[in-house]
Structure 1
């Protein structure tokens, strides 16, 4: 009788395992997994020419990145059955390819790779839910059908992203079988930044990132899936912090913060690496989590190799993030001029590059090149159209004193992030707003609304649209001096008090200047505010009781991006919509001047700055 009961129990367990679709049949099977990944390509489909890397200890100009070489990198994994190909979000917005084609070019290039999953980034919502729907439809044209993932984004049924069901276009997770073993991939989208800095429908809700991640992990674990990869778009620091709060997570592949990870000590022209690749942290259970990110703009890709033991735990993770470079080289001649190397040198340089794990030299993929050519032929003429000239480099900075120098690769901007004045180019953009709005007393712009520095030399229309890639129009708002102070305090608080380092909401202004002390609490950070009379050019103290006309773009006018004090004014309808594209304001400004340069010191909005750490900048 006892034997019969035992047999019955065994048969019952076997039946239950079989009824789970085989999910539990791989218990006790080790796994070697390779994850190849990119993030934040932001419509940067072409290689960047004349970028400086060190090869064999010598500064060398190369073509850096580009989707045609990324396609070659991913194609090198063909024939392997243990590779995940992942994109951690923000395919959209950043170059003319998005301005002109609204995601179609990005989707078609991504389909030359066939990613196993993509996370929804905040910029995927820049033009709303309907545009994201169109992008996903284009991404699903052809055989790839890349799953687009976010477990914490919940579109309302009946809206573009959920015409019938909540998961019509965005799924919370995907399951990929690797050598017969299921691996769960869960998408996570940064909540507050997407709501504040992009344009999702008000009906599209965003769940807390950590809560959604654990809830979905638990769902997959209940299905017998023991290997969990989070594909996130929330930033490197947030990824590390989240890992410590979660159970049963193994790997986090992230984006959003454009973080360079790994050993790039030989590459003195790059931003400083933020940490090792992979970065190892412990989850809530004390077990290892491997965290990776692969910089930005199609310049690099990451390769993470993860070993799991028979119990499903991570035993090791190794790998690297590599710069993707081409095989055409320039070096300085005796006169210090960059010239193409002689015919005998490329082979030597290639051999030296092959010994450097931070570099991956590749030819362009033929299929991807043909797809890109169909789009580039349409943009080439427009991109090259000159609109004027910069007599000196216009450096890009978000927050004065920030550790990362976004302009470090541009001559003349090597220490731009340590200057009290902050961003030259954002300041100039604000001045273009003020010039366009004939009735405005001053203009406000946010740091995150400007995307690239401008090197000295000709400025093209393509650069202008890469500089300001969003579809915003200029708005004129009547705002009291007291409300202006509140807006500025809100803008800085929106990232500083939230513990975020990106500073996309940091304010810049034309016709308005101040002293800023970020070591003070909210409400005491701005002082000595002055406005400049447009007629006389004289400066006078900001009058809290006076009403000023402020020119800004529609996104900020709606109270987004941290500019909450604008929202009641906008919602009341007490504003003028100029219907003037803000990028066009900058184009017209450059064309009108012919040659532009950094503003006069007295015209910078930041006249004095103390950092959050109490460092006084000069």
Structure 2
């Protein structure tokens, strides 16, 4: 039978939604007639995205797919309260066709990932994740789970899905981060293979069987996706996430990242790469035309701002042209008005919102000023984050209240997600926005020399100093610790001073052989992102408290303006 000359596919895609189910209220700096006019618009959210996807399926006469490129978990109070149940319930109602697991989807280990895989009415992909050494009777085991398209050790390929596509078949498979054990907490039996090698072997396997149209889902980030795109042979398109990359020209509304939708000119020998930002703010809609060999020969479409309510100008009195500016904004090609899906809107409002709204109205403290959070020290904040040491103070106090002797608390910058704004502070502000990751605290004992190596390793990773960086989130902040870091010193000698704020309220330089008790999140204590030396600890104990619990308790017992910041940093970069 003669094959069709062209194969059309509408590919709707999202990534890194992080439990942002409701529409996002975005401030958009609209460039209008030479002026920057601030506009507010409710964009995206699961109900709006579901409605847009439903419209696509109703209006297209050719095949369509709706895929998620990972990190549906964590991020908001919806996850902190419901621990994933709301995520898979709402994604099932959205009509997803596929999801690749991201690092935050593996944060809770099998205990949290298994319910997602088990409950999803769509296939879940992690084609370079190898569970073959899991015991057959392991609780929450994922080995050979029928809905997890994982690494097939006997064939050396990713398990894939085949779906009817015009007069042939289309294959979907997915890969995720090889360094997963450094950035997340999957169960120890999970092994992660080189995504490039697994992807190429899988593509070769498919093409040997006559499958030419191949969609690769990826949770590697744009940089690694570009490497895949330049090195892989035979895939049609890569749909990615992890780096929160918003492709397309959004310069008119102040969201531009300088990225081209598809990341290459079409047609090209290079495989197109699609990313759709973050937090369900946008929906990517790619109109693909492929030839019989699976190569994309035309790419149209782009990321869309799905606007579900009236756009406003909060300073309309200052801008007399605000009304015409709003009309011009609504006429932008990537601004799409949408009526949110009623079923999903009602499900969120009736099943999940009430508990969150109660927490939002429960004020636990008052912030007389804003405490700023930054991951790395800056010129204006030479000590770095004002907030992270306060969070560490919460860890310290919580451990002490539970009767544990601790000398210091340590926290990584990426574990704090927002600044603490002036005004009333609610439980929702802390557990839903500032410290949204549901990770317990761990007490441990180790020597000062290993603590110094852990601090150096974390800073090296944060600033990419001689190691492969996993991002700036590893930068260490502490309570009752002070340190000096010299980036130009030899590796292993960059922490030139380490001191402890003692019970006598004075700083004491630590002897390298001295034993200390510390408290951190379980994520940091496990040695992720440069903190490997913490694995040299002698003892450890997991506490029955999450990170957010400890800070909430601190604020309930101490006013913010009386908190002591026992942290000193001398950072020579």
Fold shared per TM-score above 0.5: yes
CA distance in 2, matches of 1:599, 1:363: 49
Range with bigger deviation, 85-94 or 496-505? 496-505
Range moving further from structure 2, 230-239 or 477-486? 477-486
Between 492-501 and 551-560, report the one with greater CA deviation: 492-501
1:125 corresponds in structure 2 to 106
Change (3 A) 1:492 1:607: closer
Larger-Rg structure = 1
Q: CA deviation at 1:26?
A: 6.3
Contact 2:396 2:406 (C-alpha < 8 Å) held by counterparts: yes
* Aligned counterparts of 2:213 and 2:562: Cα–Cα separation in 1: 54
**In 2, distance between residues paired with 1:84 and 1:596?**
52
Contact 1:161 1:168 in 2 (8 A): no
How many angstroms apart in 2 are the aligned matches of 1:360 and 1:131?
Answer: 35
Query: Is 2:502 the partner of 1:533?
Result: yes
1:549 CA drift (Å): 2.1
Task: Provide, for residues 325-357 of structure 1, a one-character-per-residue CA deviation record: whole Å limited to 9, x for no partner.
Answer: 332333244776x9xx9xx987x5664233223
Q: How does 1:423-462 map to 2 (within 5 A)?
A: 423-438=385-400, 439-462=405-428
How far 1:95 moved relative to its partner? 1.7
Contact 2:3-2:167 within 8 A present in 1 as well: no
Query: In the alignment, is residue 379 of structure 1 matched against residue 356 of structure 2?
Result: yes
Q: 1:520 to 1:36 in 2, by over 3 A?
A: farther
Match of 1:412 in 2: none
Moved more, 494-503 or 77-86: 494-503
Residues 1:180 and 1:387: Cα distance change in structure 2 (over 3 Å): farther
When residues 204 and 309 of structure 1 are mapped into structure 2, their CA distance, relative to the original with a 3 A threshold, is same
Aligned residues between the structures:
549
Q: CA deviation at 1:553?
A: 2.2
Instruction: Please tell me whether residue 485 in structure 1 is matched to residue 472 in structure 2.
Output: no
- Structure 2 residue matching 1:73: 3-state secondary structure: helix
State the partner residue of 2:172. 185
SS of 2:94 mapped into structure 1: coil
1:509 corresponds to which of 458, 471, 478: 478
The Cα of 1:487 is off from its aligned counterpart by: 0.9
Deviations 1:395-419 (A, max 9, x none): 3333346xxxxxxxxxxxxxx9x74
- Counterpart of 2:232 (choices 246, 255, 261) is 246
The offset of 1:253, in angstroms, is 0.9
RMSD of equivalent CA atoms? 3.0
| 2:89 alignment counterpart | 108
Distance 2:44 2:488 in 1: 39
- Aligned residue for 1:591, secondary structure, equals helix
Q: Secondary structure at the match of 1:280?
A: coil
Alpha-carbon distance in structure 1 between the residues aligned to 2:161 and 2:513: 56
The whole-number CA distance in structure 2 between the counterparts of 1:577 and 1:150 is 29
In terms of mean alpha carbon deviation, does 527-536 or 437-446 score higher? 527-536
Q: Name 2:259's counterpart in structure 1.
A: 275
1:221 CA drift (Å): 1.1
Structure 1 residue ranges without an equivalent (≥5) = 1-24, 141-145, 402-415, 611-618
CA shift in 2, pair 1:457/1:47, >3 Å? farther
Show the counterpart of 2:549: 584
Q: Given that residues 387 and 461 in structure 1 are in contact (C-alpha distance below 8 angstroms), is that contact kept between their aligned partners in structure 2? A: yes
Residue 383 of structure 2 corresponds to 421
Which residue of structure 2 aligns with residue 575 of structure 1? 540
Structure-2 change in CA distance of 1:354 and 1:267 (3 Å):
closer
Give a deviation string over 1:144-194, Cα, whole Å, max 9, x none: xx11112101223524565673545335322233334422222111121x2
| Alignment correspondent of 1:357 | 333
User: For 1:239 and 1:560, how far apart are their aligned partners in 2?
Assistant: 23
1:281 Cα shift?
7.9
Q: Deviations over 1:343-390 (max 9, x none)?
A: x987x5664233223433323221110121221123321233111123
User: Residue 515 of structure 2 aligns with which residue?
Assistant: 547
- Give the Cα separation in 1 of the matches to 2:490 and 2:5: 54
SS for the counterpart of 1:319 is strand
Distance 2:450 2:514 in 1: 10
Displacement after TM superposition at 1:61 (Å): 1.8
Residue-by-residue CA offset, 1:256-292 (whole Å, 9 max, x unaligned): 1112222121223x4x505222212899xx8121112
TM-aligned CA distance change 1:115 to 1:598, over 3 Å: farther
In structure 2, the CA distance between the partners of 1:190 and 1:264, relative to structure 1 (3 Å rule), is: same
Tell me if the contact between 2:234 and 2:294 (Cα under 8 Å) persists in the aligned partners: no
Do the aligned partners of 1:278 and 1:319 also contact (CA within 8 Å) in 2? no
Q: Does 1:82 align with 2:63?
A: yes
Cα distance 1:599–1:178, how it changes in 2: closer, same or farther (>3 A)? farther
**Which residue is 1:19 aligned to?**
none
* Aligned twin of 1:607: 570
How far apart are residue 595 of structure 1 and its match? 3.6
Note closer, same or farther for the CA distance 1:392–1:76 as it changes in structure 2 (3 Å cut). Answer: farther
Shift of residue 547, structure 1, vs aligned partner: 2.2
Q: Does 1:388 align with 2:365?
A: yes
For the residue of structure 2 that corresponds to 1:243, the secondary structure is helix
Q: After TM superposition, list the pairs within 5 Å mapping 1:233-382 onto structure 2.
A: 233-268=219-254, 270=255, 273-280=257-264, 287-333=269-315, 351-373=327-349, 374-382=351-359
Structure 1 CA distance for aligned equivalents of residues 330 and 119 of structure 2: 37
Whether the 8 Å contact between 1:473 and 1:581 is mirrored in structure 2 is yes
Query: What secondary structure does 1:45 align onto?
Result: coil
Residue matched to 2:21: 45
> 1:435-481, CA deviations, whole angstroms, 9 ceiling, x for partnerless residues?
33333222111122223333322221112112223333333322222
How far 1:92 moved relative to its partner? 0.8
